[in-house]
Structure 1
Amino acid sequence: MTEGPDITFVLGTRPEIIKLAPVIRECEDRSLTRSIIHTGQHYDESLDLVFFDQLALPEPTHHLEVGSSTHGRQTGEMIIRIEEILRRERPDTLLVQGDTNSVLAGAIAASKLDIDLGHVEAGLRSDDRTMPEETNRVLTDHASDYLFAPTEQSRARLRSERIPDERIYVTGNTIVDAVEQNRTLAAQRSAVLAEYDLVPGRYCLLTAHRAETIDDEQRFGDLLTGVGRVASHLEREVVYPIHPRAAKSLEAFDLDVPDGIRIVEPQNYLDFLSLEDAASLVLTDSGGVQEEACILGVPSVTLRESTERPETIDVGANRLVGTDPAAIVEGADEMIDRDGEWTNPFGNGTAATQILDTITGAERREVSPK
Structure 2
Amino acid sequence: MRAFFDRQAEARRQTRRLLVLFGLMVAAVVAAVNGALALAWRLMAGGGWLGYPRFFFEVNTGVTLLFVLGGWWLESNTLRHEGGAALARRLGARPAREADFDERRLVHVVREMALAAGMTPPAVMVIERDAAINAFATGWDERDAVVALTEGALRHLTRAELQGVVAHELSHIREGDTRLNMRLVGMVYGLEMLYRLGEQLMEPDARGRRHAGALIGLALRVAGWLGWVAGHALQAAVARQREFLADARAVQWTRQRDGLGRALRKVLGQRRGEGDAGDGPLPLPQARHLWLVSVPRDAWLPWFDPHPPLAQRIARLYGGTMPPLPPHDGLDAADEPVVPARPTPV
TM-score when scaled to structure 1? 0.25
Structure with the larger strand share:
1
Larger radius of gyration: 2
Structure with the larger helix share:
2
